[in-house]
Protein backbone atom coordinates (compact mmCIF):
# COMPACT_ATOMS: atom_id res chain seq x y z
CA UNK A 1 0.00 0.00 0.00
CA UNK A 2 1.17 3.55 -0.70
CA UNK A 3 2.05 5.74 2.25
CA UNK A 4 -0.80 7.45 4.12
CA UNK A 5 -0.85 10.37 6.52
CA UNK A 6 -1.73 9.14 10.03
CA UNK A 7 -2.66 11.04 13.17
CA UNK A 8 -1.55 8.82 16.07
CA UNK A 9 -2.88 9.73 19.53
CA UNK A 10 -1.33 8.36 22.71
CA UNK A 11 1.94 8.03 20.80
CA UNK A 12 4.19 8.23 23.87
CA UNK A 13 2.42 5.40 25.73
CA UNK A 14 3.42 1.77 26.09
CA UNK A 15 1.44 0.57 23.06
CA UNK A 16 1.44 3.86 21.16
CA UNK A 17 5.25 4.10 21.10
CA UNK A 18 5.50 0.68 19.43
CA UNK A 19 2.84 1.62 16.87
CA UNK A 20 4.67 4.91 16.21
CA UNK A 21 7.91 3.11 15.34
CA UNK A 22 6.19 0.52 13.15
CA UNK A 23 4.13 3.06 11.19
CA UNK A 24 7.28 5.06 10.43
CA UNK A 25 9.16 1.88 9.50
CA UNK A 26 6.33 1.04 7.09
CA UNK A 27 6.87 4.38 5.34
CA UNK A 28 3.82 6.27 6.59
CA UNK A 29 3.71 9.98 7.42
CA UNK A 30 2.87 10.12 11.13
CA UNK A 31 1.66 13.05 13.22
CA UNK A 32 2.26 11.77 16.76
CA UNK A 33 0.57 13.37 19.80
CA UNK A 34 0.24 12.63 23.51
CA UNK A 35 -1.05 14.67 26.46
CA UNK A 36 1.72 13.21 28.68
CA UNK A 37 -0.44 12.59 31.75
CA UNK A 38 1.67 12.60 34.95
CA UNK A 39 -0.07 9.38 36.09
CA UNK A 40 1.31 7.63 33.00
CA UNK A 41 4.63 9.37 32.38
CA UNK A 42 5.60 10.99 35.66
CA UNK A 43 5.49 14.68 36.62
CA UNK A 44 6.85 17.16 34.06
CA UNK A 45 7.97 14.43 31.65
CA UNK A 46 8.76 15.90 28.22
CA UNK A 47 7.30 14.25 25.12
CA UNK A 48 9.67 11.85 23.33
CA UNK A 49 11.32 12.95 20.10
CA UNK A 50 8.80 13.19 17.31
CA UNK A 51 5.77 13.46 19.64
CA UNK A 52 3.83 16.69 20.28
CA UNK A 53 2.15 17.44 23.60
CA UNK A 54 -1.53 17.70 22.62
CA UNK A 55 -4.75 16.87 24.45
CA UNK A 56 -7.36 15.17 22.24
CA UNK A 57 -10.00 17.09 24.21
CA UNK A 58 -8.69 20.32 22.61
CA UNK A 59 -10.94 20.59 19.58
CA UNK A 60 -9.02 23.50 18.03
CA UNK A 61 -5.77 21.51 18.13
CA UNK A 62 -7.45 18.42 16.71
CA UNK A 63 -8.96 20.34 13.80
CA UNK A 64 -5.58 21.92 13.04
CA UNK A 65 -3.70 18.60 13.12
CA UNK A 66 -6.28 16.73 11.05
CA UNK A 67 -5.76 18.76 7.88
CA UNK A 68 -4.63 16.33 5.19
CA UNK A 69 -4.85 13.28 7.47
CA UNK A 70 -6.07 10.04 5.85
CA UNK A 71 -6.62 7.93 8.96
CA UNK A 72 -6.59 8.41 12.74
CA UNK A 73 -5.06 5.70 14.93
CA UNK A 74 -6.57 6.50 18.33
CA UNK A 75 -4.61 5.01 21.24
CA UNK A 76 -4.96 7.84 23.78
CA UNK A 77 -6.76 6.65 26.92
CA UNK A 78 -6.53 6.40 30.66
CA UNK A 79 -5.96 2.68 31.19
CA UNK A 80 -6.32 0.10 33.97
CA UNK A 81 -9.30 -1.41 35.73
CA UNK A 82 -10.10 1.64 37.82
CA UNK A 83 -8.82 1.25 41.35
CA UNK A 84 -11.47 3.46 42.89
CA UNK A 85 -14.89 4.78 41.96
CA UNK A 86 -13.24 8.19 42.31
CA UNK A 87 -11.40 7.45 39.05
CA UNK A 88 -14.63 7.52 37.03
CA UNK A 89 -14.45 11.20 36.01
CA UNK A 90 -10.93 10.72 34.60
CA UNK A 91 -12.04 7.77 32.46
CA UNK A 92 -15.12 9.63 31.23
CA UNK A 93 -13.15 12.78 30.48
CA UNK A 94 -10.07 11.42 28.74
CA UNK A 95 -11.52 8.31 27.09
CA UNK A 96 -15.10 9.22 26.26
CA UNK A 97 -15.20 13.01 25.96
CA UNK A 98 -11.79 12.89 24.27
CA UNK A 99 -13.06 10.43 21.68
CA UNK A 100 -16.23 12.46 21.07
CA UNK A 101 -14.21 15.64 20.46
CA UNK A 102 -11.82 13.78 18.16
CA UNK A 103 -14.71 12.35 16.13
CA UNK A 104 -16.34 15.75 15.80
CA UNK A 105 -13.05 17.20 14.54
CA UNK A 106 -12.65 14.33 12.07
CA UNK A 107 -16.14 15.01 10.73
CA UNK A 108 -15.41 18.73 10.40
CA UNK A 109 -12.19 18.06 8.44
CA UNK A 110 -13.61 15.19 6.36
CA UNK A 111 -11.34 12.47 7.76
CA UNK A 112 -13.42 9.30 7.43
CA UNK A 113 -11.19 6.49 8.73
CA UNK A 114 -10.58 5.58 12.39
CA UNK A 115 -8.55 2.77 13.91
CA UNK A 116 -9.69 2.60 17.54
CA UNK A 117 -7.85 0.96 20.43
CA UNK A 118 -10.51 -1.04 22.22
CA UNK A 119 -10.15 -3.92 24.67
CA UNK A 120 -11.32 -7.38 25.66
CA UNK A 121 -12.72 -5.77 28.81
CA UNK A 122 -15.81 -4.72 26.86
CA UNK A 123 -17.04 -8.33 27.07
CA UNK A 124 -16.80 -8.71 30.83
CA UNK A 125 -16.73 -12.48 31.14
CA UNK A 126 -15.84 -14.61 28.14
CA UNK A 127 -17.79 -17.49 26.69
CA UNK A 128 -18.93 -20.50 28.74
CA UNK A 129 -20.51 -23.86 28.04
CA UNK A 130 -21.61 -26.98 29.88
CA UNK A 131 -21.92 -30.58 28.75
CA UNK A 132 -25.52 -30.71 29.86
CA UNK A 133 -26.67 -27.14 29.24
CA UNK A 134 -24.73 -25.96 26.18
CA UNK A 135 -23.65 -22.29 25.82
CA UNK A 136 -24.37 -20.23 28.95
CA UNK A 137 -24.33 -16.48 29.60
CA UNK A 138 -22.93 -16.04 33.10
CA UNK A 139 -23.40 -13.27 35.62
CA UNK A 140 -21.24 -12.01 38.45
CA UNK A 141 -19.88 -14.74 40.71
CA UNK A 142 -21.39 -14.99 44.17
CA UNK A 143 -19.22 -13.80 47.05
CA UNK A 144 -20.21 -16.86 49.10
CA UNK A 145 -18.79 -19.16 46.39
CA UNK A 146 -15.58 -17.12 46.19
CA UNK A 147 -15.16 -17.17 49.96
CA UNK A 148 -15.45 -20.97 49.82
CA UNK A 149 -12.85 -21.30 47.07
CA UNK A 150 -15.39 -22.03 44.34
CA UNK A 151 -14.06 -19.82 41.56
CA UNK A 152 -15.62 -21.41 38.49
CA UNK A 153 -19.03 -20.50 37.14
CA UNK A 154 -21.73 -23.15 37.46
CA UNK A 155 -24.83 -23.81 35.39
CA UNK A 156 -27.88 -22.58 37.28
CA UNK A 157 -29.99 -25.42 35.88
CA UNK A 158 -27.71 -28.44 36.32
CA UNK A 159 -25.15 -27.20 38.85
CA UNK A 160 -22.27 -28.44 36.67
CA UNK A 161 -19.02 -26.51 36.47
CA UNK A 162 -18.83 -24.63 33.18
CA UNK A 163 -15.83 -24.63 30.88
CA UNK A 164 -14.67 -21.59 28.95
CA UNK A 165 -15.31 -21.10 25.25
CA UNK A 166 -13.69 -18.55 22.91
CA UNK A 167 -15.58 -15.27 22.73
CA UNK A 168 -16.36 -13.80 19.32
CA UNK A 169 -16.82 -10.19 18.35
CA UNK A 170 -20.59 -10.74 18.23
CA UNK A 171 -20.79 -11.39 21.99
CA UNK A 172 -22.76 -8.99 24.15
CA UNK A 173 -20.84 -6.14 25.79
CA UNK A 174 -21.03 -6.32 29.58
CA UNK A 175 -18.38 -4.06 31.16
CA UNK A 176 -17.30 -4.91 34.72
CA UNK A 177 -14.96 -2.01 35.51
CA UNK A 178 -14.74 1.76 35.05
CA UNK A 179 -12.16 1.29 32.32
CA UNK A 180 -14.38 -1.26 30.57
CA UNK A 181 -17.35 1.10 30.72
CA UNK A 182 -15.29 3.83 29.07
CA UNK A 183 -14.09 1.50 26.29
CA UNK A 184 -17.67 0.43 25.54
CA UNK A 185 -18.61 4.10 25.39
CA UNK A 186 -15.76 4.81 22.97
CA UNK A 187 -16.98 2.01 20.72
CA UNK A 188 -20.56 3.28 20.85
CA UNK A 189 -19.52 6.83 19.94
CA UNK A 190 -17.41 5.48 17.07
CA UNK A 191 -20.22 3.21 15.83
CA UNK A 192 -22.73 6.08 15.84
CA UNK A 193 -20.21 8.39 14.14
CA UNK A 194 -19.56 5.82 11.40
CA UNK A 195 -23.28 5.31 10.82
CA UNK A 196 -24.11 9.01 10.69
CA UNK A 197 -21.18 10.12 8.52
CA UNK A 198 -20.57 7.11 6.28
CA UNK A 199 -17.12 6.70 7.84
CA UNK A 200 -15.24 3.52 8.73
CA UNK A 201 -14.04 2.29 12.13
CA UNK A 202 -11.80 -0.69 12.84
CA UNK A 203 -12.07 -1.30 16.59
CA UNK A 204 -9.18 -3.47 17.75
CA UNK A 205 -10.13 -5.28 20.95
CA UNK A 206 -6.74 -5.94 22.54
CA UNK A 207 -6.42 -8.85 24.91
CA UNK A 208 -3.77 -8.94 27.68
CA UNK A 209 -0.90 -6.89 26.24
CA UNK A 210 2.65 -7.22 27.55
CA UNK A 211 6.17 -6.53 26.28
CA UNK A 212 9.10 -4.14 26.21
CA UNK A 213 8.38 -0.75 27.73
CA UNK A 214 5.43 -1.91 29.82
CA UNK A 215 4.94 0.26 32.93
CA UNK A 216 6.27 -1.09 36.18
CA UNK A 217 4.15 -2.07 39.16
CA UNK A 218 1.37 0.39 39.88
CA UNK A 219 -2.28 -0.26 40.79
CA UNK A 220 -3.02 0.32 37.08
CA UNK A 221 -0.38 -2.09 35.68
CA UNK A 222 -1.02 -5.36 33.91
CA UNK A 223 -0.51 -8.57 35.86
CA UNK A 224 2.60 -9.61 33.92
CA UNK A 225 4.40 -6.42 34.99
CA UNK A 226 3.22 -6.87 38.58
CA UNK A 227 4.62 -10.43 38.67
CA UNK A 228 7.89 -9.17 37.12
CA UNK A 229 8.24 -6.47 39.76
CA UNK A 230 7.71 -8.98 42.58
CA UNK A 231 10.35 -11.31 41.17
CA UNK A 232 12.86 -8.49 40.73
CA UNK A 233 12.91 -7.85 44.48
CA UNK A 234 13.03 -11.54 45.37
CA UNK A 235 9.34 -12.00 46.23
CA UNK A 236 7.24 -14.81 44.81
CA UNK A 237 4.45 -13.68 42.46
CA UNK A 238 1.14 -13.59 44.32
CA UNK A 239 -1.43 -15.42 42.20
CA UNK A 240 -5.09 -14.78 43.00
CA UNK A 241 -7.85 -17.39 43.15
CA UNK A 242 -6.50 -20.83 42.18
CA UNK A 243 -4.32 -19.61 39.32
CA UNK A 244 -6.42 -21.43 36.73
CA UNK A 245 -8.22 -18.34 35.41
CA UNK A 246 -7.55 -18.22 31.67
CA UNK A 247 -6.53 -15.31 29.48
CA UNK A 248 -4.96 -14.59 26.10
CA UNK A 249 -1.62 -12.79 26.39
CA UNK A 250 -0.57 -10.97 23.22
CA UNK A 251 2.80 -9.33 22.74
CA UNK A 252 2.94 -5.58 22.09
CA UNK A 253 4.85 -6.24 18.84
CA UNK A 254 1.79 -8.11 17.57
CA UNK A 255 -0.51 -5.30 18.73
CA UNK A 256 1.58 -2.82 16.73
CA UNK A 257 1.49 -5.08 13.67
CA UNK A 258 -2.31 -5.31 13.91
CA UNK A 259 -2.56 -1.52 13.97
CA UNK A 260 -0.34 -1.13 10.92
CA UNK A 261 -2.49 -3.70 9.11
CA UNK A 262 -5.66 -1.81 10.07
CA UNK A 263 -4.19 1.51 8.91
CA UNK A 264 -3.20 -0.02 5.57
CA UNK A 265 -6.41 -1.95 4.90
CA UNK A 266 -9.66 0.04 5.02
CA UNK A 267 -12.75 -1.92 6.03
CA UNK A 268 -16.40 -0.98 5.58
CA UNK A 269 -18.52 0.45 8.37
CA UNK A 270 -17.82 -0.42 12.02
CA UNK A 271 -15.76 -3.60 12.40
CA UNK A 272 -14.66 -4.87 15.85
CA UNK A 273 -11.78 -7.36 15.86
CA UNK A 274 -10.25 -9.48 18.62
CA UNK A 275 -6.48 -8.96 18.66
CA UNK A 276 -5.11 -11.96 20.51
CA UNK A 277 -2.51 -14.68 20.27
CA UNK A 278 -5.08 -17.46 19.91
CA UNK A 279 -3.04 -19.48 22.45
CA UNK A 280 -4.74 -19.25 25.87
CA UNK A 281 -2.74 -19.46 29.07
CA UNK A 282 -3.64 -19.45 32.75
CA UNK A 283 -2.54 -16.72 35.14
CA UNK A 284 -0.68 -19.38 37.10
CA UNK A 285 1.24 -20.33 33.96
CA UNK A 286 2.12 -16.68 33.37
CA UNK A 287 3.59 -16.42 36.88
CA UNK A 288 5.42 -19.75 36.52
CA UNK A 289 6.93 -18.81 33.15
CA UNK A 290 8.27 -15.54 34.52
CA UNK A 291 9.56 -17.17 37.71
CA UNK A 292 11.30 -19.95 35.76
CA UNK A 293 12.94 -17.46 33.40
CA UNK A 294 14.26 -15.40 36.30
CA UNK A 295 15.24 -18.37 38.46
CA UNK A 296 12.44 -18.13 41.04
CA UNK A 297 11.04 -17.86 43.61
CA UNK A 298 8.06 -19.97 42.67
CA UNK A 299 4.63 -18.34 42.56
CA UNK A 300 2.31 -18.54 45.57
CA UNK A 301 -1.35 -19.28 44.86
CA UNK A 302 -3.13 -17.24 47.52
CA UNK A 303 -6.80 -18.10 47.07
CA UNK A 304 -7.55 -14.40 47.48
CA UNK A 305 -9.89 -12.74 45.03
CA UNK A 306 -10.96 -9.31 43.87
CA UNK A 307 -14.66 -8.60 43.64
CA UNK A 308 -15.66 -8.02 40.03
CA UNK A 309 -12.76 -9.92 38.45
CA UNK A 310 -13.78 -12.12 35.54
CA UNK A 311 -12.91 -15.82 35.61
CA UNK A 312 -12.05 -16.60 31.98
CA UNK A 313 -11.80 -14.43 28.87
CA UNK A 314 -10.33 -16.08 25.79
CA UNK A 315 -10.71 -14.74 22.25
CA UNK A 316 -11.52 -16.18 18.89
CA UNK A 317 -9.03 -14.27 16.67
CA UNK A 318 -10.21 -15.68 13.32
CA UNK A 319 -12.08 -12.56 12.18
CA UNK A 320 -8.91 -10.44 12.39
CA UNK A 321 -7.11 -13.05 10.28
CA UNK A 322 -9.83 -12.95 7.63
CA UNK A 323 -10.37 -9.17 7.66
CA UNK A 324 -6.78 -7.93 7.98
CA UNK A 325 -4.61 -10.96 7.28
CA UNK A 326 -3.34 -10.56 10.85
CA UNK A 327 -2.06 -13.51 12.88
CA UNK A 328 -0.05 -13.04 16.07
CA UNK A 329 3.52 -14.28 15.73
CA UNK A 330 4.77 -14.32 19.33
CA UNK A 331 3.99 -17.47 21.33
CA UNK A 332 2.95 -16.47 24.87
CA UNK A 333 5.45 -18.71 26.70
CA UNK A 334 8.31 -17.59 24.46
CA UNK A 335 7.25 -13.97 24.76
CA UNK A 336 6.87 -14.09 28.53
CA UNK A 337 10.26 -15.76 28.86
CA UNK A 338 11.82 -12.83 27.00
CA UNK A 339 9.68 -10.37 28.93
CA UNK A 340 11.23 -11.61 32.19
CA UNK A 341 14.28 -9.41 31.46
CA UNK A 342 12.79 -6.88 29.04
CA UNK A 343 13.22 -3.16 29.79
CA UNK A 344 10.24 -1.67 31.63
CA UNK A 345 9.11 1.90 32.14
CA UNK A 346 9.89 3.27 35.59
CA UNK A 347 7.00 3.73 37.98
CA UNK A 348 5.34 6.90 36.83
CA UNK A 349 3.18 9.39 38.67
CA UNK A 350 1.78 8.88 42.14
CA UNK A 351 -1.92 8.24 42.51
CA UNK A 352 -4.79 8.06 40.09
CA UNK A 353 -5.05 9.95 36.80
CA UNK A 354 -6.61 13.40 36.98
CA UNK A 355 -9.36 14.88 34.87
- What's the rounded Cα separation, in Å, for the pair 215 and 230? 14
Average pLDDT over residues 1-14: 94
Task: Report CA-CA distances (Å) from 27 to 4, 71, 159, 260.
Answer: 8, 14, 56, 11
* Three-class DSSP labels, 236-277: CCEECCCCCCEECEEEHHHHHHHHHHHHHCCCCCEEEEEECC
pLDDT digit string, tens, across residues 183-237 = 999 999 999 999 999 999 999 999 999 999 998 766 556 899 999 999 999 999 9
- What's the rounded Cα separation, in Å, for the pair 99 and 237? 36
Which pLDDT band holds residue 352 (cuts at 50, 70, 90)? Answer: low
Task: Report CA-CA distances (Å) from 50 to 12, 47, 63, 94.
Answer: 9, 8, 19, 22
- What's the rounded Cα separation, in Å, for the pair 66 and 194? 17
What is the reported pTM?
0.96
Which pLDDT band holds residue 351 (cuts at 50, 70, 90)? Answer: low
Share of the chain above pLDDT 90, in %: 84
Q: Alpha helices of the chain — where are they, by DSSP H?
A: 14-25, 38-41, 59-65, 88-91, 98-109, 143-147, 178-197, 223-232, 252-264, 283-294, 318-324, 332-339
End-to-end CA distance of the chain: 39
CA atoms within 13 A on the CB side of 139: 4
Amino acid sequence: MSAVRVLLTGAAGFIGSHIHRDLIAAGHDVIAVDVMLPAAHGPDAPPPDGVRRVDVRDGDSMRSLLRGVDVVCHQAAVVGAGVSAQDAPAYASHNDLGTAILLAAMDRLGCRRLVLASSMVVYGEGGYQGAGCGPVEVGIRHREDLDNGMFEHRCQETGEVLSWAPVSEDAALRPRSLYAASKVSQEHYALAWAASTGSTVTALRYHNVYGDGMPRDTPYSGVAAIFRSELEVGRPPQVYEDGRQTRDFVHVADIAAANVAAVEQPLSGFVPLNIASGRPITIGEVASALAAARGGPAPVVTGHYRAGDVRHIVADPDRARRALGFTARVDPIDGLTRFAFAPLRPTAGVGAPTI
